[in-house]
A and B are shown apart, each in its own frame.
Chain A
Amino acid sequence: MQFHKYDVLIVGAGGAGMRAAIASATESGAASPRTAVLTKLYPTRSHTGAAQGGMCAALANVEEDNWEWHTFDTVKGGDYLTDQDAAEVMAKEAIDAVLDLEKMGLPFNRTDEGRIDQRRFGGHTRDHGKAAVRRACYAADRTGHMILQTLYQTCVKHGIEFFNEFYVLDVVLTETENGPVASGAIAYELATGEIHIFQAKSIVFATGGFGKVFKTTSNAHTLTGDGMGIYFRKGLPLEDMEFYQFHPTGLAGLGILLTEGARGEGAILRNESGERFMERYAPTIKDLAPRDIVARSMVLEVLEGRGAGPEKDYVFLDCTHLGEEVLETKLPDITEFARTYLGIDPVYEPVPVYPTAHYAMGGIPTNVDGEALRDNDTVLPGLYAAGEVACVSVHGSNRLGTNSLLDINVFGRRAGMAAARYAARSEHVELPDDAAETVEGMVQHLRTATGGERVADIRTELQQTMDSNAAVYRTEDTLKQALSDVHALKERYGRVAVHDKGKRFNTDLLEAIELGFLLDLAEALVTTALARKESRGGHAREDYPDRDDVNFMRHSMCYKLLPEQKEENAPLGLTGFTSDIRLDYKPVVFTRYEPMERKY
């Protein structure tokens, strides 16, 4: 076991993590806190790099715009579950966030005047919904790639220290007279199988989402919700877990993302007969309605028999009228994806698409400085979260396109600054004697377990039940089915065994641990979805089709009830696999906007 000591520890090296690292090391004003970044990949492998379309900011480079309109769109896009103070912070700071990236060297596309070019995106409108507005700053259809590269380049420039292929599997909390304080993190080094204890004054979680609970997803294999899972297993709350976004345009059957920027450039969704069906669902902004509305509309088209293909189970994204030049220069990557994976050339043929599991609106509750909350409003000192792992909540029940690249930059920076300043005024907190015990127990168990259950079987069945029962449309019956399936899978997970008992690069063992996080998060998602008897944003209940502001204009707070003592038969998790979940609620923050019916 190795021991390390830092001032600021950042877990995850995607956009939020690296933006936090840069802020901590160079912008905080604190005297150069010793900052380290732990990532289970290499930084440039993070899934920020898969984001395509753009990052919105009211620069008004190509037409009139202002941050107040952006705030409104974000609140309305979130179906009024967005915390309005947080949305305002994000929309205001968006402008500097884009300019900061440009100054770091990000190669944005340019206007004729040489300024940052902007394109249209779903739900982003002029003057409170009058028409679509050009607000998304972009670099072809690889904006996320360019953000990830630029942030990594900037980290290299500043000599920021990385621990690559280190899997953080636990956070260490020390009990004080004022309650728990974060004091470190426990990591598993992939190359050697060694366990490392990192002591730190402040820890920023930037570990991303958990799209791998679903079968059809735009998410990477590595998006297994480790950060959220670690937090949840401490008995700490996760906020708004029922709100999971399905991106309308995944390549049919594969889930690979095709950017909304395609529709921003003029592409059109059509059903089997060629009808532009979004005209019926969102007469004003049509194909550029927010993702929840477009995804639901696509599913309805298919359910009502207007889907295309031999199984009538997808619709078309028609780019053929855009012309080869627009596709090759502004949308080259998605053009290639369609050619490579479906053998379809978007220049000449419409592309089969269907909603794909994409983004968790929920996560670790934080305030606007990224400080993690251990209940509705008490800060857990020393612990921060930013990016998809966090719930500020700027996305409410449905995130607008581009607002995730914005979120990671604005709140990654804020969390990094706050973490560095906290470190500057605090001492290291002593670690408990048994700091690494849980992780050691999990690893030791997996190296010796001989049960008959296979990781791949449980994972496949989990993903199937989530796709069938907890995706775009849900009902009481489907959610109950999903919950009972997840419970059965958790019970089987207790008997899981891995083939690889070795120490070097043992991804077999880590996949088993990641599956445990997925099971816990699936349970949180389904349980909160069952309790929310309304339809709002990314949560659509066939049995409760309307939004119910009287009973449900509130955030869900989901806690795992920890057993009195560790269960004998649950060596793989922190608390066992049959724990009950307790639900609580938290008020939404309103500033300027009264909830209205959501029409586009």
Chain B
Amino acid sequence: MASPTPTDTAAHDTSQIPAPEGSITVTVRVLRFNPEFDDEPHWESYDVPALPTDRVLNLLINIKSYVDGTLSFRRSCAHGICGSDAMQINGVNRLACKVLIKDLLAKGNKRTTISVAPIKGLPQMKDLYVDMEPFFEAFKAVKPYLIAYGNEPTHERIQSQADRERFDDTTKCILCACCTTSCPVFWSDGSYFGPAAIVNAHRFIFDSRDEGSEERLDILNDTEGVWRCRTTFNCTDACPRGIQVTKAIQEVKQALLFKRV
């Protein structure tokens, strides 16, 4: 996607937003786009009162509630668990509900500017809404479910604590797409599975109860699979759940090279 020209429009009237005691003014720039009316994306700015403990999501909600109801973005749990509000905040992928204003303020600074844009590499549908379907299609393509043959046990399958620990990190994934849409390979070639799909393949490949590793490794050995990864670590930096994404991808590569899990 070509970078849009940053043509900020005139400031909006934000006086209706409630300003709590101790609030400072933050300028929020949003890369807006509504294909019903706009030819291309453009930046708009809003001066928003904010407390240092506010989440970036709170500011977007206030803009929507009191300034411009057409501003559109996904949100649900508001504490980093549902993965709805992935967006670029000052150029890096974050969940808007996990970034506090104080984390963005330079020391002693009473005013700051925050730029918010949709995650990159998926089509922008309206403002911060992107089309998530390609992302979930890549997820589904790696068979992200337990594959086991033979009769089911009467009780639970036995799994040692060490075996359980082996894939613990990749079970944390919330499918927010922060990693995949921070990946330069994914930006240049949308057919690459992307880090999130590989993380979810890893979660099953290294699960001692699973018997589908070969099928999955075959899929990931494909031209659009793990070998496209250039180990730039953007994904690891972007993950709001602290998953060692690049390490997981490396482990899948190792499993392919040495044909063992």
Contact = CB atoms under 8 A, between A and B. Distances in A.
A337 B132 CA distance: 27
A44 B156 CA distance: 25
Contacts of B78: 220-221
Contacts of A221: 75-78
B65 interface: yes
27 contacts: A41-B76, A45-B74, A49-B82, A102-B156, A104-B146, A105-B209, A107-B164, A107-B171, A111-B161, A114-B163, A142-B171, A145-B174, A156-B139, A156-B140, A156-B144, A157-B143, A220-B76, A221-B75, A221-B76, A333-B81, A340-B100, A341-B79, A454-B66, A455-B69, A500-B69, A506-B72, A508-B70
A139 interface: yes
Contact of A337 (B79, B139, B160, B242): B79
Interface of B: 34-37, 53, 64-66, 68-70, 72, 74-84, 98, 100, 125-127, 129, 132, 136, 139-140, 143-146, 148, 152-153, 155-161, 163-164, 167-168, 171-175, 204, 207, 209-210, 242
Contacts of A504: 34-36, 72, 125-126
- In the A-B complex, the 9 residue pairs with the closest CB atoms: A499-B69, A105-B146, A456-B65, A508-B69, A114-B158, A153-B145, A157-B145, A500-B70, A45-B82
Contacts of B153: 103
Contacts of B207: 105, 107
Contacts of B34: 502, 504
B77 A47 contact: yes
A505 B123 CA distance: 14
Interface string A419-460: 000000000000000000000000000000000001110000
A109 B164 contact: yes
Interface string A100-141: 001111011111111110000000000000000000000110
A429 B37 CA distance: 42
A191 interface: yes
Contacts of A108: 156
A99 interface: yes
A44 B146 CA distance: 17
B77 A220 contact: yes
Interface string A43-81: 011110110000000000000000000000000000000
Given A107-B171, A157-B145, A42 B136 contact: yes
Contacts of B164: 107, 109-110
Q: Which of A49, A111, A498 counts the most chain B CB atoms within 10 A?
A: A49
A478 B156 CA distance: 50
A499 B157 CA distance: 55
B146 A153 contact: yes
A115 B156 contact: yes
A146 B171 contact: yes
Contacts of A498: 69
B125 A50 contact: no
A47 B70 CA distance: 25
A50 B81 contact: yes
B161 A340 contact: no
Contacts of A284: none
A185 to B, nearest CB: 21
Contacts of A26: none
A45 B84 contact: yes
Contact of B210 (A105, A115, A256, A499): A105
A139 to B, nearest CB: 7
Contact of A114 (B75, B79, B161, B204): B161
A498 B155 CA distance: 54
A110 B159 CA distance: 7
B213 to A, nearest CB: 14
Contacts of B65: 454-456
Given A45-B77, A50-B79, A337-B80, 9 more contacts: A50-B81, A104-B146, A109-B164, A154-B145, A221-B76, A221-B78, A341-B100, A456-B66, A508-B70
